[in-house]
Structure 1
Amino acid sequence: MSKQHFRTLLKRYQTDECTPQERRLVEQWFSMLDGEPSARTASENQQLEDKLWRAIQQRQGTVERPVRSLTAMHRWWLSAAAAVVVLGLSWFFYTTLNSNTETILADNGPSVSSPAGTLIRLNDTAEAMEITLNDGSRVTLAPRSSVEYPATFESSRREVTLHGEAFFEVTRNPQQPFFVNAGEVTTKVLGTSFRIETGQNNSSVQVSVLTGKVSVFQRDLPDEPLKDKIKNGVILTPNQRVVYSQASHSFETSLVEQPMVVAPERDSPAVKPEIFAFEDATMATVVGKLEKAYGIEIILENEELGNCLFTADITEQPLFTKLDLLCASLNATYEVRGTKILIMGSGCR
């Protein structure tokens, strides 16, 4: 790690631009040196920065010459020298964290339940990273994202904290529900698959459901312990998503961009792929099959539309293309309204 990178981390801490992991590390450094960075003069801060950098280089074996004597410095610096080895170890933890290895940190977060501490995985690569939790749940972590979780889920709840974006495949366990904290929002599931994306500085949080059902709700503060009583929220089913706005503290539900045929639960028996081939089938029949396959309510504005006939094989088409073809054959149109689809038209001609 370059000295410029090191200085950038300290500067980001002073301007409150650190990630939670970086902030925790820097505060650990200064707490061991018995003081806060803001309590020192600019000259003292510069001296401290130089000393920390020399300690890190010495710990990593990049400096062969011994550090010069500190006899001309104040007693504060003499006490700082005693912490050099510990500081080097702390930097070792930081560099390990940024090389995609599991790092055990102190139990400082409200979400940590494991006596062994919290495992933090940071994906600083350009590819997605798959992580398997001790309960068998899988997390596919997107680049520039991180997840914090206990080494072992030992309490009545399984709880993790996400920064960035990840896809979760949660092992079902009704006796130990699974919680994902992201900014001001918590997502609660029993066993399902879903995606969570957080905007910059947690300005927004988006949750999209692939299988199962999840509860998404707001906590009063992003770092407060999870309470059983929720403030407000929504229930999502497959092919639904919600976007939470931090500015307005509001939830907006809609359909995902590309709805998929609802997959069976992981432990359900395998089923044959859905076939959407119709010959003189009524609109009511076609719509009913689409509703069941995608788990999305489709409403016919005009009852006469339900009696119209449709003939085509639309198996390979995405849902919205299916609807385009269906409506084109009837001179009808459709709109997505929230988590429902409305088909409008005067009927058969």
Structure 2
Amino acid sequence: MRACLYIKDSCIVNKATLLYLLDKFKQGLCTAEEQQLLYRWLDQLEQEAPEQALLTAEEKQQVKNSMLQHILSATAPARRRLPLPLRWVQVAAAITILAGITYLLRLQLTPKQSAWLTQQNNSTAVQRLLLPDSSLVMLGAHTTLQYTRNGRTIKLLQGKAFFDVRTNPQQPFTVESNGIHTTVLGTSFSVAAYKQLYACRVTVITGKVQVHNYGILTPAQRITIPAAERTALRDSVALPDALAWTSGTIMLRNASLQELLYMLQEQYGVTSHTQLNTQQGNYTLRLQAAMPLEQVLTIIEKISYKPKIRFRMQQHQLTVY
């Protein structure tokens, strides 16, 4: 690495450059110009403006303490103390101090371990996940979520998940989906986040759940928060219906054409095109998720009305008319 790449106007411009020079100094490989740069930086440690400093105030204090301890211990009692600021002319002292600075910089330059772990279910089968706190999660088809290392905070990025939460009164369990926070102490519930359909849908199986600013839900209650606005729809659901997907069953009740087509997309990986009004429809069906797509489409055609629909399949493109 050439000096012009890491030095600007005879100044050290970043921590990576400083660490590079410190390593060279300790190995005795610095050029005379590089040594002068280091000495100049050390002399100006006290004069740095906070917004320009390479070290924080706390780091500076640690460096100063190390400097003072080393120099006082290395100075004979009979010798006259040098006035502050001290000049950096004793190589042994400099190496000791630079070693301390290098350690501090290495701590900052080491990439921090991510606070979030990611779990993806790229299949159409339900996937089970045991969180670090022993809470159980069941991920629906094509679902992605993130969770903290203690397992008590979840981000549902896409899809749906069922949570059976281990009780911990001292540490609430929180699920965030599209800005909506659901908080519990110990219960079981499901959360769905399909941006094309709604921002968030929470269904409670057992216990009580606090959903953002929308109040408390109890068993068999559901809240759906649209993506476009925050006018929430609360209703009741049959618990077997709410849990059907966790056992590999497709369950729709009074679903719109939009919800029906989205289910086909998630379960079978098809895209759809239609000129029909997708907000219409009132579809109720219960199917096994393992059922072939052709058979599912035949059943839907038979039960559909208002509007009556037909499907035409070409490769993975589904035309609805």
TM-score range, shorter chain: 0.3 to 0.5
TM-score, normalising length: structure 2: 0.38
TM-score, normalising length: structure 1: 0.35
